[in-house]
Amino acid sequence: MPLDSLDGLTVPDPSVRRPFGRTGLAVTPICVGTSPLANMPGLYGYEVGEQRARATVEAVFDGPFNFLDTSNNYGNGSAERRIGAVVRDRGGVPDGFVLATKVDADPDTGDFSGERVRRSAEESLERLGVDNVPLLYLHDPEYHITFEEAMSPGGAVEALVALRDAGVADHIGIAAGPIGLLRDFVATGVFDAVISHNRWTLVNREADPLLDDAFERGVAFVNGAPYGGGMLVKGPDAQPRYCYRETAEAVRESVRAMQRTCDEHGVPLAAAALQFSLRDPRVASTIVGLSEPERMEETLRLATTPIPPGLWNELDRHLPSPPAWLD
Ligand SMILES: NC(=O)c1ccc[n+]([C@@H]2O[C@H](COP(=O)([O-])OP(=O)(O)OC[C@H]3O[C@@H](n4cnc5c(N)ncnc54)[C@H](OP(=O)(O)O)[C@@H]3O)[C@@H](O)[C@H]2O)c1
């Protein structure tokens, strides 16, 4: 999609539910991501204790968003355990809440066979304290198996489909990094939803063709990490990494230039980063990772801060060139 065709778009009310692709689910445009609350200092650069995580999950269940994203392997299962403790205390997930998790490769052996997919789902249900989930993704296959291996008879995707057919999950999705790989998975027609991360942000536009593919097929596109894992909300000095890894200086320079442009308009850079994703009609929901209860209010404020329409073109002038992107 030509980017200037996004001019004049408006941001949806972040707390009003809307259709999630062809699934029949209704979700808020903002989904809460739980990798920061799993306590992964290696990725985010800080510790998150039990109490803080618990208070965050409580705030999510009591807050305006009805969509929560986790995975079998965030903090070796600690995100799911922390969510599950609150679910058990409350006697279940709040009505109308969409709790999504992901099947992961075996953390010790890297096995991502059909058998491992079944075991991963069992572990997740047990940790979360639920009998089924509305949405279950195949998570980050690129680190363990090829597309062909994932799709082979008896492989990971066949097992995921069988889990859906058995009622363990109502709908299935694919979550990964490389855009070409995600396009191949979406083209199979098997998946109801796709998560891409860090590749549809103010400073990275790699996912554009995937957004088109998903939209045309009625596959719900879920945009993870609108802040690039923190840099676009905490600033490049507090969070110098983009997508959990060392990044080109050009990206930090670009963020600093965007920050100055936003300052001139009195707009927080984080509001522009979040609304860049929210305003795109091809994005079904945007996953914001957070690990503090106060973030709920802050996120709502960032999602509803007025942004002058001319700001988008000014920010695009500072977009780093594609070689500084990820893939
Ligand atoms: N392969 C995949 O499936 C995949 C990959 C990446 C991400 N995801 C999903 O997408 C979610 C989002 O990605 P992400 O969490 O890595 O990145 P992100 O949403 O771009 O950024 C998260 C960071 O932003 C900070 N933050 C959020 N709101 C803030 C605010 N109002 N003020 C200051 N800091 C704020 C968080 O800090 P605090 O911790 O201090 O709140 C955290 O450090 C993940 O949690 C995960 O659920 C999925």
Better-predicted residue by pLDDT, 322 or 200: 200
> What whole-number distance in Å separates Cα of residue 100 and Cα of residue 31?
10
Is 73 in contact with 107 (CB distance < 8 Å)?
yes
Pull the structure tokens for residue 191.
Answer: 């998946």
Is 21's pLDDT higher than 90? yes
Q: What is the pLDDT of residue 220?
A: 98
> β-strands 26-27, 18-19: how paired?
antiparallel
SS3 232: helix
Task: Provide DSSP, 187-206.
Answer: HTT--SEEEEESSSBTTB-T
Protein residue with its CA nearest to atom 46 in ligand 1: 33
Task: Provide DSSP, 129-171.
Answer: T-S-EEEEEEE-GGGT--HHHHHSTTSHHHHHHHHHHTTSEEE
Protein residue with its CA nearest to atom 5 in ligand 1: 197
Average per-residue pLDDT for the chain: 95
> β-strands 30-33, 133-139: how paired?
unpaired
How many whole angstroms from 218 Cα to the centroid of ligand 1?
26
Sign of CA dihedral 28, 34, 36, 37: positive
Query: Which atom of ligand 1 is found nearest the CA of 232?
Result: 20
How many whole angstroms from 226 Cα to the centroid of ligand 1?
8
**pLDDT per residue over 186-201, tens digit each?**
999 999 999 999 999 9
DSSP H helical segments within the chain, as ranges? 41-44, 50-62, 78-90, 114-128, 147-151, 156-165, 179-187, 208-217, 231-234, 249-265, 269-278, 295-304, 311-316
> What whole-number distance in Å separates Cα of residue 262 and Cα of residue 256?
10
What's the DSSP call for residue 320?
P
Is 239's pLDDT higher than 90? yes
Query: Mean of the pLDDT values across residues 102-127?
Result: 98
What residues flank ligand 1, with Cβ below 6 Å?
A: 33-36, 44, 69, 139-140, 175-176, 195, 197, 224-230, 233-234, 287-292, 295, 298-299
Percentage of the chain lying above the pLDDT 90 cut: 91
83 torsion bin: left (phi>0), alpha (psi -120 to 50), beta (else): alpha
Is 1's pLDDT higher than 70? no
Cβ neighbors of 291 (< 8 A, separation 6 or more) are: 36, 37, 48, 52, 53, 56
How many whole angstroms from 99 Cα to the centroid of ligand 1?
17
Size of the chain in residues: 327
Task: Identify the structural domains of the chain with CATH numbers, from first to last.
Answer: 3-324 (3.20.20.100)
> What whole-number distance in Å separates Cα of residue 240 and Cα of residue 225?
15
Range in 19-33, 157-171, 239-253 the model is least confident about: 239-253
Q: What is the pLDDT of residue 295?
A: 97
Residue 83: name the closest of 117, 43, 38 by CA.
38
Is 102's pLDDT higher than 90? yes
201: exposed, middle or buried (Cβ count in 10 Å: 0-12, 13-18, 19+): buried
> What whole-number distance in Å separates Cα of residue 1 and Cα of residue 33?
27
SS3 220: strand
Percentage of the chain lying above the pLDDT 70 cut: 97
Q: How confident is the model at residue 327 (pLDDT cuts 50, 70, 90)?
A: low
> What whole-number distance in Å separates Cα of residue 35 and Cα of residue 225?
10
How many whole angstroms from 277 Cα to the centroid of ligand 1?
14
How many whole angstroms from 47 Cα to the centroid of ligand 1?
14
